[in-house]
Amino acid sequence: MKVNLLALLLLLFSFAQAEDGYRLWLRYDQLKNASLRTGYGARLTTISLPGNSPTLQVARKELQMALSGLLGKTVRIPETRNPLATLQIEISSGRVSAKELASLGEEGFLIRSTGGRSPLLITANSEVGLLYGVFHFIRLLQTEQSIDRLNIIEVPQLPLRMLNHWDNLDRTVERGYAGFSIWNWHTLPTYMDQRYIDYARANASIGINAVSITNVNANATILTQPYLQKVKALADLFRSYGIKVYLTARFSAPVEIGGLKTADPLDPAVQQWWKNKAREIYALIPDFGGFLVKANSEGQPGPQDYKRTHADGANMLADAVASFKGNVIWRAFVYSAEVPDDRHKQAYSEFLPLDGKFRSNVLVQVKNGAIDFMPREPFHPLFGALPKTPVMMEFQITQEYLGQGTHLVYLAPLFKECLESDTYQKGKGTTVASTLNGMAGVSNIGTDINWTGHLFGQANWYALGRLAWNHELSSEDIAKEWIRMSFSTDPSLVSDLTQMMLASREILVNYMNPIGLHHIMATGHHYGPGPWVSNLNRPEWNPTYYHRADSIGIGFNRTATGSDALSQYHPDAAKKWSDPATCPDIDLLWFHYLPWNYTMKSGRTLWNELCYRYNLGVDSVSWMQTVWNRQQSKLDAQRFEQVKMLLNIQHQEAKWWRDACLLYFQSFSRLPIPAPYEQPAKSLDYYKSLQFPYAPGH
Ligand code: GCW
């Protein structure tokens, strides 16, 4: 009787709990498969944890929450060591050889079970390693894996796995499409929102170990004492989850908040100011990660204001944090209005001569491509080209150029495409991934109840963490994990949603930027198409700079007869791109200017291929709608409806992209949109007239 009552209560509870997406992938609803549940339950009767430190308390709580939810039973995890426990969680367990333990390093873990009645073991060399092991173990249960005969060794491939928030102190988020910043600076440090805890749990569950919480377009106020107290409160909380806090440093802070006349990095007073500032920060936050810096880029102050180099600037900050073991992450996203060179080439030209000139605690953070987080970009030529400098990858999780808050686009294939690209810098097989020391993702998180606005944005946060941990995971496996944890393990649902996610990025490329077109978004907010824009002050802010369409053809010639950006790549990497005949279609107009009647590999002319791709993109969104709709019965109403409505928007916007771009390019090609395709609904003037003064994220 008692048992039935409990079951009833649990059932009522699960109905009452709206599926609003807040729980992310850490949903711990009771497993539907009863025999699996009993099996797990029998295997997990008592758990032993090696203490009660803050990190172990986090692990204990998570296990209790997960097991009571998934298995529907309360598992007590007493503080005292229990040698008879069925799940033994131990630091540097004696049951594992010294050699194996050594292989786990600081953050890795091992999960082992020999089957039968022998206890399960999770071990690591550190508490945070144990925490990662616990989250991994919970994931096994959530995704309904067998826990008999486990022998898992997981070691992160990159030491720095990071989120970069572009959050302003007024709580707006640059390029944020999920509400306001989750950092409530006004109520910090006294009020600690539950969100901070759930944010840390989510990050720890995917191995994120560093977060930079302020916009790279930085505000010096964050470095003042009242704000540092607020940052300390967050850092104190995140510490138990293995997460270090970084701040963005405004290069002119010594002038703005320090009262100095200059921020020249070679000026001793400036150097001293930063040393004092670092000391002040480390007194509050002993494990402060360090500074992330955008300097001399898009109007931000920097060392070049004083005729110094990026290395001079980075090294000054690096010296200030070095004795505290802090890092300086210096962004390579630079291009200058004064330099007439192809924007594609500028970061490389600027940073190549600086290789070997940075202090050892400087990391240079490079965007995945040389332009700016486009739906598709060839990898940045700086990867592998700075052998003496630790390099971080910067991906953009927030979908500034990929449909913002309303398009379903799974980004793991984009991330993987870059990570697996061959730079050839140290011979064949020098993948981009192999050249990295860390990976950062520009966050897509905000105050929306489901964190990311679009529910599927959660998958991109998840994928970034998983790939930073292990870039060899496949996009498919990551999608499947996420779907199983976020929705259900139903095989047809998993298969349908996986297919949809895997195809989604290419679908967007087709209706937005096919055949290597890029940066033809409306300017400023970057929402919607704007290939016609040509009136902005700086040439490289105009879409016309990038597509170069005229009556003869379209595309950016980056070969030796054009800007020669190709010469910045290793010749073996550049080879396939240099000739239109061998250049893959996906990159064709990125590297080549070609006539409208150029014959593509498909046999279609370039113009017809454009028409084909744009229409394929639109039709594929209809296909996504069909896939989603046919899984309705397997999905909860709230999340089903939300994604359904967003897919409707995506479909309309895909048509908008197609019609606006084809009409505009047609004004040059003077060729018809072939008959089988839907003709544009409105005139080019109509699309040009659309204004979005309050588009988000700007
Ligand atoms: O993609 C561009 C964005 C800017 C951003 C910049 C950068 C933070 O449009 O909003 O500024 O990149 O990465 O610095």
pLDDT digits (tens, 9 = 90+) for 345-399: 999 999 999 999 999 999 999 999 999 999 999 999 999 999 999 999 999 999 9
Closest ligand 1 atom to 526 CA: 9
Instruction: State residue 1's pLDDT score.
Output: 43
- Beta partners for residue 595, in sequence order: 553
Cβ–Cβ under 8 Å, residues 315 and 322: no
Q: Is 172 in the pocket of ligand 1 (CB under 6 A)?
A: no
So what's the pLDDT on residue 381? 98
Model pLDDT for residues 601-625, shown as the tens digit of each residue: 999 999 999 999 999 999 999 999 9
What SS3 class is residue 88? Answer: strand
**Residues of the chain below pLDDT 70:** 1-17, 337
| Residue 333, ligand 1, Cβ within 6 A | yes
Which tokens hold the place of 197?
């805890």
- Measured CA to CA, the distance from residue 364 to residue 384 in angstroms comes to 12
Indicate whether residue 166 lines ligand 1 (CB < 6 A): yes
Mutate to test the pocket of ligand 1, among 175, 335, 540 (most ligand atoms within 8 A of CB): 175
Give residue 10's pLDDT: 47
From 212, 372, 398, mutation site for ligand 1 pocket: most ligand atoms within 8 A of C-beta: 372
- Residue 519: CB within 6 Å of ligand 1? no
Determine whether 298 is an active site residue: yes
Pocket test for ligand 1, best of 248, 298, 526 (most atoms within 8 A of CB): 298
Question: H helices of 582-692, where?
Answer: 588-591, 606-630, 637-669, 684-689
Check if 175 has its Cβ closer than 6 Å to any atom of ligand 1: yes
Which tokens is 217 given?
Answer: 């377009």
372 is catalytic: yes
Does ligand 1 have an atom closer than 6 angstroms to the CB of 294?
Answer: yes
Q: Whose CA is nearest to atom 13 of ligand 1?
A: 333
C-alpha 534 to ligand 1 mean position (Å) = 20
Contact, 158 vs 107, CB < 8 A?
no
Distance separating alpha carbons of residues 607 and 552, to the nearest angstrom: 11
Helix (H, G, I), strand (E, B) or coil at 434: helix
Catalytic site includes residue 636: no
Cis peptide preceding 340, ω within 30 of 0:
no
Rounded CA separation 27/21 (Å): 9
Q: What is the DSSP string of 445-480?
A: --SSTTSSSSTTHHHHHHHHHHHHH-TTS-HHHHHH
Cα 596 to the center of its chain, rounded Å: 36
**Ligand 1 pocket residue status of 527, Cβ below 6 Å:** no
- Closest by CA to 173, choosing from 451, 468, 529, 408, is 451
**Which residue, judged by its Cα, is nearest atom 3 of ligand 1?**
175
Q: Letter for the amino acid at 165?
A: H
3-state secondary structure of 105: coil
Could you tell me if 366 and 380 are in contact, meaning their C-beta atoms sit under 8 angstroms apart?
yes
The pLDDT of residue 5 is 57
Could you tell me how many residues make up the chain? 698
Distance 175 CA to ligand 1 centre (A): 8
Of the residues 173, 214, 333, 398, which should be mutated to test ligand 1's pocket, given the most ligand atoms within 8 Å of the CB? Answer: 333
Centre a 10 Å sphere on the Cβ of residue 86 and count the other Cβ atoms it contains. Answer: 18
Ligand 1 within 6 A of CB of 343: no
Give how far Cα 457 sits from Cα of 15, 142, 450, 481, 694, Å: 25, 20, 9, 15, 22
Distances (CA, A) of 462 to 396, 432, 445, 457, 504: 13, 21, 12, 9, 16
Residues 6+ apart with CB under 8 A from 314: 293, 328, 330, 358, 359, 362
Candidate list 298, 355, 476, 572, residue with the active-site label: 298
Cα 187 to its chain centre, rounded Å, is: 28
Distance (Å) from CA 627 to ligand 1 centroid = 34
- Of 588, 601, 599, the C-alpha closest to 516 is 588
Structure tokens at 153: 């060794």
Q: Indicate whether residue 219 lines ligand 1 (CB < 6 A).
A: no
* Token code pair at residue 524: 């400023």
Residue of the nearest CA to atom 11 in ligand 1? 217
